A and B are shown apart, each in its own frame.
Chain A
Amino acid sequence: MSIGAGLRKFTKSSEFYVLLAVVLLCAVIGMRNPAFLTVFTGLDLLRASIVPGIMVFAVMLGIIAGGIDVSFPAIAVSSMFLTARLFEYLEWTGPVAVPILMSVAIGTALGTVNGLIIAFFKLPAFIVTLGTSHLFHGMLVWSIGARPVNRLPPTMDAFSRAEIFRITGETHSSAVPVTFWFLLGTIVVVYFILNYTMLGRGIYAIGGDRVSAERAGFNVRGITIFVYAFIGFASGLAGIVHTIQSRASFPVELIGSELLIIAAAVLGGTHIGGGKGTVLGSILGLALITISRNSLIMMGIPATAQMFVVGLIIVAGTGMSAYQAMRRENKLPRILDTAGGGVVAGK
């Protein structure tokens, strides 16, 4: 494929429209407030996107496989708070990798519970995770209480201050924290799974047509369990990164962020009915959500109106792609041959 043809194909993809929306949003904010278009804002946004980002790509995997997981914030908060509490109690001074692995292990375990229920009882993921979300979070609050952890172990605290690089200007100074590698790692792993493994193609296959996937010999049950275990894994990671970033742990955080995370994936072109979705699209969707959540204030939109504007962007964005799909699908093929034109078969 030539570069020109590739470019033309890209302009027809759903990712192109999201990119357009991101550029447009940046241009509008930048026009109102030139301070937005600086490297400092960019780095701050990058930092703000780490925790939601890790979750977006995992959730996208679930949606592609045809299931909507809404329990990931509950898993994230359960893993991180349990871990923070435990290591506070242990007065841990060992390597930071241990609490991180602990949180990830808890997340994976909880995700596997979701996966087992969904795969063996063939229930819709949405219903199952609606239930387990309360189950996990309720169990956390009930069993270990709601007293926050205000002081992290010293090694975690030090890790939270570690930076990949920092740019310092006359008035501003912004840095990319080391935790950014976790986001990058998640993106690379999800991209690799989806595009270069049979497992990934199986995820698309299940989302496209579950019965056909079974007939084609895909291990539908195994793939389903993997998908939800992976969402749990990523949630555990996102949770502990969130705790590290905020240098404290509260048992009620992240809860309520699920719909915005799902919206980021859907805005990026992930088909809510399954079978379609790309990493690039979700990166753009994530950018759109992160920018509108964090930068509308720079445009002079008051905090009270922000939720409204974010909602507007989501409705307009998802509505646009739905409208496009509708136009494609509802077009009746032309039957009458009119002057000059050949018979055109409908697509």
Chain B
Amino acid sequence: MALIKLTGITKSFAGVRALQNVDMTINEGEIRCLAGENGGGKSTLIKVISGFYTPDEGRIEINGKEYKRLTPQQAISEGIQIIYQDFSVFPNLTVAENIALSLERLQGRHLVNWKSIYKNAQRGLDMIGVHMDLDAPVGSLSVANKQLVAICRALLQEAKLLVMDEPTTALTRKEVDSLFAVTRDLQAKGLSILFVSHKLEEVFEIAEELTILRNGRKVTEGPMKEFDRAKFIYHMTGREIEPAHFKAPEISGEPLLRVDNIGITDLFENISFSLYAGEIIAITGLLGSGRSELARALFGLEKLTSGRMFIGEKQVRLHNVKDAINNGIAYVPEDRLTEGLFLPHTINNNVISATIGKTLSKWRLVSAKKTNELSGSWIDELKIVTPSGGVPVQTLSGGNQQRVVIAKWLSTNPKVLILNGPTVGVDIGSKTDIHSYTKRLAKDGIGVIIISDDIPEVLENCNRVLLMKKGRIIEDMPCAGLTAEVLSRKLSEEVGAGGQGADSPPKEETA
């Protein structure tokens, strides 16, 4: 039976059609995936369902009741709950309060009944069968646990439809698995789930029904089994994308970068590898394997406590980012929003921020003309979609934002480019562009290190992959001949347990 039925939903903002004549039905107890690239209309559709936006045209029917103007309060009382991408939890309040406070509010209470808060919070946790310290401040929890808190809160408010907006963005593979287990369990209890995502692998894993939006229109829908990868990507992007493998270059001469037994106390140790001109190597490992700490250390953001690092023949010691830049190293960070961009500032200012020296006039003042020229050339080069370089970066889509970060670092003329999660939260079209551009850079003689656990990304773009676990590199293998299945298995295997397939077994600790 249909839980919610949308017919002919149209919504415009300042003349731009965000949604155009969209139909969608979610039945009781089904897991539907809403897929589409950034800017495709997914967020707008969620906000229509949750009552935050009133559509210009179209009908909303929930539990057989038609709503002319659905308010957020009505949506909640009909059992529609959104798990936002940022979870919307209160970091300063306890687990118990985060879970149960909304329910108390819903019941119209003015005074706080601590007993019932604890009782209800426990009931919420029991619904998904997890244990948590009710008194812990939510700010101290892992991302996955914050999400579970948000889910418990939604369930307590008698959710019938759980809308999960990009729920796996910040989760490790293991956490994704347990999220999916919880999701299926809730489905078995009769809940409907709308799973909003653009991650192909996950959509195939969890969804039963699929709706794809592109440019505000529904382009296709149907049971998941009618789709395969190619068809999915075609509908998402509107173009055919052929996976192109990266060919290993001729390795010659000195390596651009060589590290010898480097380590940082408690974080990683015994890391040795060389990067030659024209190579793209991947450092892969799960979240918490030390991959990001290693990347940060290569860029001078963390200090090495052991080992040696060479740029060409010269041994270097990086005390800070400036040292790294001077040695021709550039780093595109993991989280562009907090580490890579000045969001309210213009594209121009962001692009020149690592190379302000190049834009100075003879009076040593920043020249607007030089800034425009420099930034403009990168906007063309990286095909950043924008009316001008004077647009604030926060108004761009994820893919275009990432291009700005890349432009900023390429303008330092690096010899070694470190890309940490270069396509996280980036739509498939931009992803393809970023990949092909990276390969071109390698062809021009730059050495690239990609830090990623996106298996197809690693296999299609790199000639070598270093597998990292618990702070050590446990395997260094060529990508040629490696299949996604094998790499995926190696990635999720426990260190030491079995260890089959590992050429160099992990060093045993002497207890």
Per-residue CB contact flags for chain A residues 310-347 toward chain B (1 = under 8 Å, else 0) read 00000000000000000000001111111110010101
Contacts of B267 in A (CB 8 A): 332, 334-336
In the complex where A208-B93, A216-B102, A335-B288 touch, is A198 in contact with B266 (Cβ < 8 A)? no
Q: How far is the CA of A338 from the CA of B72 in the complex (A)?
A: 51
A196 with B91: CB separation less than 8 A: no
Q: Is A20 at the interface (CB under 8 A from chain B)? A: no
Kindly specify which of B31-39, B60-68, B105-113 makes contact with the partner chain: B105-113
B89 with A209: CB separation less than 8 A: yes
How many interface contacts (CB-CB < 8 Å) are there between A and B?
94
Per-residue CB contact flags for chain A residues 2-19 toward chain B (1 = under 8 Å, else 0) read 000000000000000000
Q: How far is the CA of A211 from the CA of B91 in the complex (A)?
A: 13
Q: Is B90 at the interface (CB under 8 A from chain A)? A: yes
In the complex where A200-B112, A209-B89, A217-B102 touch, is A333 in contact with B470 (Cβ < 8 A)? no
B residues 42-56 touching A (CB-CB < 8 Å) = none
B104 with A198: CB separation less than 8 A: yes
Per-residue CB contact flags for chain B residues 93-119 toward chain A (1 = under 8 Å, else 0) read 100010001101110011110000000
B288 with A208: CB separation less than 8 A: no
B268 with A336: CB separation less than 8 A: yes
Contacts of B105 in A (CB 8 A): 198, 216-218
A336 with B266: CB separation less than 8 A: yes
Q: How far is the CA of A213 from the CA of B97 in the complex (A)?
A: 13
In the complex where A209-B90, A217-B73 touch, is A201 in contact with B97 (Cβ < 8 A)? yes
Contacts of B88 in A (CB 8 A): 209, 211-212, 215-216
Which of B102, B110, B293, B509 lies in contact with A338, CB distance below 8 A? B509
Contacts of B76 in A (CB 8 A): 217
Q: How far is the CA of A343 from the CA of B289 in the complex (A)?
A: 12
- For A211, the closest partner residue in chain B by CB is B88
Contacts of A200 in B (CB 8 A): 112
Which of B90, B102, B112, B511 lies in contact with A197, CB distance below 8 A? B112
Q: Is B320 at the interface (CB under 8 A from chain A)? A: no
Q: Is B84 at the interface (CB under 8 A from chain A)? A: yes
B89 with A333: CB separation less than 8 A: no
A333 with B111: CB separation less than 8 A: no
Contacts of A212 in B (CB 8 A): 86, 88-90
Q: Is B500 at the interface (CB under 8 A from chain A)? A: no
- For A271, the closest partner residue in chain B by CB is B92
Q: Is A204 at the interface (CB under 8 A from chain B)? A: yes
Q: How far is the CA of A200 from the CA of B109 in the complex (A)?
A: 12
Q: How far is the CA of A312 from the CA of B364 in the complex (A)?
A: 40
- For A217, the closest partner residue in chain B by CB is B105
Contacts of B293 in A (CB 8 A): 332, 335
Cβ distance A104 to chain B, nearest Cβ, rounded Å: 23
Residues of B in contact (CB 8 Å), total: 39
Q: Is A205 at the interface (CB under 8 A from chain B)? A: yes
Q: How far is the CA of A333 from the CA of B142 in the complex (A)?
A: 12
Q: How far is the CA of A275 from the CA of B90 in the complex (A)?
A: 9
Q: How far is the CA of A15 from the CA of B73 in the complex (A)?
A: 39
Per-residue CB contact flags for chain B residues 267-287 toward chain A (1 = under 8 Å, else 0) read 111000000000000000000
Of A197, A201, A204, which is in contact with the most chain B CB atoms at under 10 Å from its CB? A201
Which of B91, B97, B142 lies in contact with A345, CB distance below 8 A? B142
- For B104, the closest partner residue in chain A by CB is A198
Q: How far is the CA of A40 from the CA of B93 in the complex (A)?
A: 41
Q: How far is the CA of A275 from the CA of B109 in the complex (A)?
A: 21
Of A216, A276, A335, A343, which is in contact with the most chain B CB atoms at under 10 Å from its CB? A335
In the complex where A197-B112, A198-B105, A216-B105 touch, is A334 in contact with B266 (Cβ < 8 A)? yes
B140 with A197: CB separation less than 8 A: no
Contacts of B290 in A (CB 8 A): 335-336
In the complex where A196-B111, A334-B266, A335-B290 touch, is A276 in contact with B92 (Cβ < 8 A)? yes
- For B84, the closest partner residue in chain A by CB is A215
A337 with B509: CB separation less than 8 A: yes
Contacts of A335 in B (CB 8 A): 266-268, 288-290, 293, 470-471
Q: Is B510 at the interface (CB under 8 A from chain A)? A: yes
Cβ distance B80 to chain A, nearest Cβ, rounded Å: 13
Contacts of A211 in B (CB 8 A): 88
Q: Is A150 at the interface (CB under 8 A from chain B)? A: no
Cβ distance B270 to chain A, nearest Cβ, rounded Å: 10
Q: How far is the CA of A337 from the CA of B269 in the complex (A)?
A: 11
B101 with A201: CB separation less than 8 A: yes
Q: Is A246 at the interface (CB under 8 A from chain B)? A: no
Contacts of A216 in B (CB 8 A): 88, 101-102, 105
B109 with A198: CB separation less than 8 A: yes
Q: How far is the CA of A130 from the CA of B62 in the complex (A)?
A: 49
Which of B73, B89, B112, B472 lies in contact with A201, CB distance below 8 A? B112
Contacts of A204 in B (CB 8 A): 90, 92-93
Cβ distance B21 to chain A, nearest Cβ, rounded Å: 28
Contacts of B509 in A (CB 8 A): 337-339
Contacts of B470 in A (CB 8 A): 335-337, 343
B112 with A198: CB separation less than 8 A: yes
- For B302, the closest partner residue in chain A by CB is A332
- For B291, the closest partner residue in chain A by CB is A335
B510 with A339: CB separation less than 8 A: yes
B93 with A205: CB separation less than 8 A: yes
Contacts of A343 in B (CB 8 A): 470
Contacts of B109 in A (CB 8 A): 198
Per-residue CB contact flags for chain B residues 71-88 toward chain A (1 = under 8 Å, else 0) read 011001000001010101
A208 with B142: CB separation less than 8 A: no
Contacts of A338 in B (CB 8 A): 266, 509
Q: Is A195 at the interface (CB under 8 A from chain B)? A: yes
Per-residue CB contact flags for chain A residues 229-244 toward chain B (1 = under 8 Å, else 0) read 0000000000000000
Per-residue CB contact flags for chain B residues 238-268 toward chain A (1 = under 8 Å, else 0) read 0000000000000000000000000000111
Cβ distance B27 to chain A, nearest Cβ, rounded Å: 26
Contacts of A217 in B (CB 8 A): 72-73, 76, 102, 105-106
Contacts of A340 in B (CB 8 A): 511
Contacts of A215 in B (CB 8 A): 82, 84, 88
Q: Is A199 at the interface (CB under 8 A from chain B)? A: yes
User: Can you list 28 pairs linking A and B with CB atoms under 8 Å apart?
Assistant: A197-B110, A197-B112, A198-B105, A198-B110, A198-B111, A200-B112, A201-B112, A205-B93, A207-B92, A209-B91, A211-B88, A212-B89, A212-B90, A215-B88, A216-B105, A271-B92, A275-B91, A276-B92, A332-B302, A334-B267, A335-B290, A336-B266, A336-B267, A336-B290, A337-B470, A338-B509, A339-B510, A339-B511
Binding site for A on B (CB under 8 A): 72-73, 76, 82, 84, 86, 88-93, 97, 101-102, 104-106, 109-112, 140, 142, 266-269, 288-290, 293, 302, 470-472, 509-511
What are the nearest 8 A-B pairs in CB distance?
A: A275-B92, A212-B88, A208-B90, A208-B92, A336-B471, A335-B471, A334-B266, A335-B290
